[in-house]
Amino acid sequence: MLKQCLRLFSTAGARLGGYSTVQPVHHLVKIKKSALMPKYDEVSIPKDDIESVGFRPTEIEQDRVAEHYRNSLKSDLMLYFYEHDAEVVRGQKLRDHDPTSPYALYRHKRKPRGFGRPTRDVYPIGPTNIPELTGISLNLYAKDAHVYPWLNISTSLQLAQITNVKPKPVKSKINDLSWKVRMGKRCGAKVELTGSDMSQFLLTLTELVLPRIRTFRGVPKKSGDKFGNISIGLDPEDVKFFPEIEHFQELFPNLFGFHITFKTSARTDDAARVLLSSLGLPFENAPAM
Amino acid sequence: MLRFTLRAPTFTRALPLLKKYPVSTHRSCRTPKPTMFHKQVSRLYSTGSVQLLAKILSTLLLLRPPVITADLPKFESQYYNYQKELWKRLMWTFPKWFYFREGTLAEQRFRELNKNPVHNNPNMEFIGGRPIIKHQRDLRFKQVLRLPKPYLEGEEGEVEGLESDKPVVPNSRTTPADASNDTTSLERKLARTLYLVISEDQGKLWAFPNFSCENTPLHKVAEEGLYGLGGTEINYFNVSPTPCHVQTSDKGKEFFIKLRILSGSFVAQNKNTTFKWLTSEELGEHLSKNYYEDIKHLMSAV
Amino acid sequence: MKISVQINPPSILCSSIMFAARKTNLAAVARTFARGKKIQNKKQGVNNASTQKVVNQLSALSATKKQPKLLKLCPEDLIKHKTITNAWNVFQRKQRTKEAEILAKQYESIKDAMTELKELSPELFEAALKKERKFFPLEYRVPVDYPPRNPWNYQVKKL
């Protein structure tokens, strides 16, 4: 109530809508007219349409991870996560300031208690929100690439070789001349995997690579970002166990370690760990069955 | 009739109804949503004899998960094939020069397997359009790659010759147990989920294993019951202590506990017990029709 | 649910019939290099072995001369493709709704069972809710395309 009253007298409030209220009204939304040229029409075709320039078939073979998840794991996970009369666990949200103070009117909201970042609500797991692996992202940071820029070619090629997806460049965000880090300079590569590429990579990792790493004791128990995404790191020595690299070792003289993040739709790390264990990833602190 | 009682759930009105639909068999009566009413009734009788009649049973739903991928229906396999061909057509040219360096033995074998496309001869006329050759690929068509392998390849099922120069052949997706239709074998129907059913009267009546339970947790009863039925040489995974279904039968309330057998052998410990591993469709033939209809949704589609 | 659709792949996959009417690629014939000679390898110092390796790597990664010709479907092929895609989408949608229904039923089953158990025996209900923290075992594997030599492992050995 107080806020609305104040707004009537405030000149700043009127500007928030994004357009001028002085007649005649001029909208401030800018339109790039050059993008409306007819030669760009084909860009607007969605990429899953065969007439699009970027068309690429995605469902090219039976996806055995997805099939296993649909046929067996989904109902098992639902039973596993069932809680009777469970309620929504509200996450920490941004807090309002003292409503009576006029000075706090347009201030940013206060940080939430505890963790310092807003967290999501955790809903009880039912038939519609069973945790699911939504993607895997590989992130390769090569620190030497600041000094030897040609290493960026090797990093991209290594990820492309392993995942069969064209990588995107990673650029440094800060300037630190003592580390020879320059803002905007390339220093690695990253790949986002979904669908059949993701399944293929997951199978290679769990069936061929991880069992052969002697030092691997399972996914570390501390791994996880509190939002249901679990990460592991691979060393350059581990990377050579990928069959795609192993059989062409002379073509990849420089190998780089990288981080693998498993993105899940689980709201908590514990749920994400259970999901990943069901997909064949071993965990460090796995309790005895 | 039922609706009236729902509005006025008094003791006197519920009594004649209770005779008509006794609580212990309320699942078998096919009213749309009888639970509300019966909950109220059972609460009225919460310390009465009705409560005691409902015996708690732990029913074992033992699954053998699929070992191999599902058999694809014709439509799906054709669709995948079509997409694969499109993918080959749209794929970038394979960088042969990178993986098979010139002058190596591997490159020679690659060249033997992959013939070059027709050269774009300027003196020739091409009816189907001129070939566009880049890196020994005609960019107009799909790319067919045959990579040299360090072993011989063969078709599924053929095994001949010496051990050393035998081609690498994938194992057959059907097993001897399928050929002889041995329903007691864990190796049958590898692509399907199998369920354990037992019979105590030499195969007249088939049912999931049932164990009565008195104050022991349901899943413990099911696990111990499994060892008692099939021996201790079983490695199983108990998905959850939570029951996944409740079914009212003449024996009492059956609470379904889901276990998955992962390895080991199921050997019947009792002489009179016969058992079978069945797919969901075969279950329909072995269980009574009403019972199967009630539990059908628990079965995996594959 | 049975779908019996015979897929006849469009002719792009079978042969080059649809390109039969195309003229010669004039742009390719008339191409000239306005900037003069291509840069020689020797001048660039690419004869260095390690540099050559990186150049090779770049050539494997880049799109230069590797992209196939764009697909240009004739109207008939386009209709065929759209029919196939539509059929696939309908099939997928049906399958997805069916799976969702079954999952919802299973959830109701669990809920019913727990509600009844709560009424019948509160002790057993408590025990059924007490979850031990555990992971899925590694033996519960993703199915493979072809079975191993011994399809079933009769040895009990917990990992």
Look up tokens 């899940």; give the residue. Answer: A264
- Judged by CB atoms within 8 Å, which residues 63-122 of B form the interface with C? 65-70, 73-76, 78-79, 81-82, 85-86, 89-93, 95, 97-99
Same domain as B207, residue B113: no
- Note the pLDDT of residue B100: 92
Nearest chain C residue to A155, by CA: C57
Q: Cβ separation of C145 and B78 shorter than 8 Å? A: no
Does residue B33 sit in the same domain as residue B21? Answer: yes
For chain A, domain boundaries: 2-42, 65-84+100-289
Question: Quick one: average pLDDT of A54-65?
Answer: 94
Same domain as B83, residue B25: no
Decide if B263 and C24 are in contact by the 8 Å CB cutoff.
no
Q: In CATH, what class is A65-84+100-289?
A: alpha beta
Put simply, the answer to whether A82 touches B83 (Cβ < 8 Å) is no
| Chains touching C by CB (3 or more pairs below 8 Å) | A, B
Q: What is the pTM of this model?
A: 0.82
pLDDT of A190 > 60? The answer is yes
C103 touching A (Cβ < 8 Å): yes
User: A168-171 and A258-264: which strand pairing?
Assistant: unpaired
Mutate to test the interface with B, among A47, A58, A75, A158 (most CBs of B within 10 A): A75
Give the per-residue pLDDT at C45.
Answer: 54
Total domain count, chain B: 3
Which of C136, C139, C156 is the best residue to mutate to test the A interface, defined by the most A CB atoms within 10 Å of its own CB? Answer: C136
Decide if A164 contacts C61 (C-beta within 8 A).
no
Give yes or no: residues B286 and B240 share one domain. Answer: yes
For residues C89, C92, C94, C96, the Cα torsion angle rounded to the nearest 10 degrees is -140
Both B206 and B61 in one domain: the answer is: yes
C122: cis peptide before it, omega within 30°? no
Judging contacts by C-beta atoms under 8 Å, the chain C residues touching residue B99 are 60
Query: Same domain, yes or no, for B60 and B183?
Result: yes
Amino acid found at B132? I
Domain co-membership, B223 together with B289: yes
Subunit partners of chain B (3 or more CB pairs within 8 A): A, C
Burial C119-152 (b: 16+ CB within 10 A, else e): ebbeebbebbbeeeebbbbbbbebbbeebeeebb
SS3 A23: coil
For the stretch C50-96, pLDDT in tens is: 888 889 999 999 999 999 999 999 999 999 999 999 999 999 999 99
Listing DSSP states for A26-46 in one string gives -B-----GGGGSGGGGGGGS-
**Which residue type sits at C91?**
F
Closest residue on chain C to A72 (Cα): C142
Residue in chain B lying closest to A66 (CA): B69
- What was the pLDDT predicted at B148? 87
Q: Which of A55, A79, A289 sits opposite B240 (nearest CB)?
A: A79
Q: Which residues constitute the domain of residue B28? A: 2-46
Q: Taking residues C95-120, what's their average pLDDT?
A: 95
List per-block mean pLDDT (blocks of 10 residues) for chain B, which spans 302 residues: 33 36 35 40 41 78 95 96 96 94 92 92 92 93 89 62 70 93 93 94 91 90 93 92 92 93 93 93 93 93 88
B–C interface: beta-carbon pairs under 8 A: 210
Among A167-181, B19-33, B113-127, C32-46, whose mean pLDDT is lowest? Answer: B19-33
- Whole-number pLDDT of residue C156: 84
Chain A and chain C share a number of CB contacts under 8 A equal to 89
State how far the Cα of A162 lies from the Cα of A260, in Å rounded to an integer.
Answer: 12
B66, A72: Cβ pair inside 8 Å?
yes
CA dihedral B168→B174→B180→B186, nearest 10 degrees, is 100
Mutate to test the interface with B, among C70, C124, C138 (most CBs of B within 10 A): C124
> Quick check: A68 and C142 in contact, CB under 8 A?
yes
**Closest chain A C-alpha to B161 CA, distance in angstroms:** 28
Q: Which of B140, B156, B172 is the last residue of a domain?
A: B172
Which of B44, B67, B193 to mutate to test binding with chain C, by most C CBs within 10 Å of its CB? B67
Residues B188, B182: contact at Cβ < 8 Å?
yes
Cα(B210)–Cα(A214) distance, integer angstroms: 45
- Residue C115 corresponds to which tokens in the numbers above? 């509600």
- Whether residue A38 lies within 8 A of chain B, CB to CB, comes out as no
Tens of pLDDT, residues A226-281? 899 999 999 999 999 999 999 889 899 999 999 999 999 999 999 999 999 999 99
The string of DSSP codes covering A91-103 is: PP--B---TT-GG
On whether both B89 and B149 belong to a single domain, the answer is: yes
Q: Do B242 and C110 touch (CB under 8 A)?
A: yes
Alpha carbon distance A82, A91 (integer Å): 20
**C119, B255 Cβ separation under 8 angstroms:** no
Q: What is the ipTM of this complex?
A: 0.84
Looking at residue A206, what DSSP letter applies? I
Same domain, B23 and B76: no
Confidence of residue C29 (pLDDT cuts 50, 70, 90): very low
Q: What is the pLDDT of residue B31?
A: 35
Interchain contact C45–A (C-beta under 8 A): no
Residues B12 and B154 both lie in one domain: no
Same domain membership, residue B208 and residue B139: no
CATH number at residue B280: 3.90.79.10
**Model pLDDT, residue B42:** 40
Let me know whether B180 and B148 are in one domain.
Answer: no
pLDDT over 80 at C26, yes or no: no
What separation in angstroms does the CA of C130 have from each of A84, A120, A267, B218?
Answer: 11, 25, 21, 12
Q: pLDDT digits over A2-47, tens only?
A: 444 444 444 444 445 556 667 777 766 777 888 889 988 888 899 9
For residue C90, which residues of chain B lie inside 8 Å, CB to CB? none
Q: Which of A177-191, B204-218, C8-22 has the lowest mean pLDDT?
A: C8-22
Distance to chain A for B83, nearest Cα, Å: 5
State which H helix or E strand residue B259 sits in. strand B253-264
| pLDDT value of position C46 | 59
